[in-house]
Amino acid sequence: MTTYEARAIEPDALKELRETDDAGRPCEPYIATEGGDPLRCCLRGSEPGERIALVSYAPLRRWAAATWARPGAYDEQGPVFIHAEECEGPDPARTGYPFSRAGALRTVRRYDADGRIVGGRLLEIPTDEERGYDEAFTEAFADPAVALVHVRAVEYGCWHFEVRRESSPSGD
């Protein structure tokens, strides 16, 4: 089975979000009390005592600006947690997919090179979490029109991570 790369928010975007988010609001850091908030900068849960922020993020808009795509009405923004200060990003030794737990519901949304939705599916994460995601991504990228995939939480609609065609299969 092919393994795909879960992409976090890019460092340049994080730098901007730590000042002003994609809704034009200033970043308002706070101290995490319980921990477990899904940090999209490093793709792990927050720890109690960490300084974090909840910001509005427009992942498709930022991708479109870099690729000249025109998502039109598909451009959307939503809430994401990030570290309030620069962090080291995702742990390169991390295995599996972030924010994954058996039984959780995720939307696997597919976009074409223009940033338009070309399909998607509901994924109930199975016991074999990694295999479930791998199958969903393999299915998505079987369509040659699919340029990238966004994984979102069903409960809150927030963006969890992205997988791109050019970085999708690792290895062969």
99 part of a folded domain: no
Mean pLDDT for the chain?
Answer: 92
Tens of pLDDT along 3-18? 799 999 999 999 999 9
Asked if residue 68 and residue 16 are part of one domain, the reply reads yes
**Pairing assessment for the beta strands 159-164 and 51-57 based on DSSP bridges:** unpaired
In a domain, 64, yes or no: yes
Name the domain boundary from 27, 50, 83.
Answer: 83
Residue with tokens 């974090």: 52
Residue 132 lies in a domain: yes
Residue 38, domain member (yes or no) = yes
Please give the average per-residue pLDDT across 48-74, as a whole number.
94
159 and 111 part of one domain: yes
CA distance 106 to 100: 9
Q: Note whether 18 and 62 are same-domain residues.
A: yes
* Continuous segment of H or E residues that includes residue 119: strand 117-124
Q: What is the pLDDT of residues 84-120, one digit of tens each?
A: 999 999 999 988 899 999 999 999 999 999 999 999 9
Q: pLDDT tens-digit profile of 19-47?
A: 999 999 999 999 999 999 999 999 999 99
Find all residues with CB under 8 Å of 131, minimum gap 6, and list them.
Answer: 1
171: pLDDT strictly greater than 90: no
As for how many domains the chain has, the answer is 2
What's residue 172's pLDDT? 40
Decide if 121 is inside a domain.
Answer: yes
Q: What is the residue range of 20's domain?
A: 11-83
Please report, as a single letter, which amino acid is at residue 90.
P
Same domain for 73 and 42: yes
Flag whether 3 is in a domain: no
The pTM of the full predicted model, rounded to 2 decimals, is 0.90
Please state the three-class secondary structure of 82-103 as a single string.
EECCCCCCCCCCCCCCCCCCCC
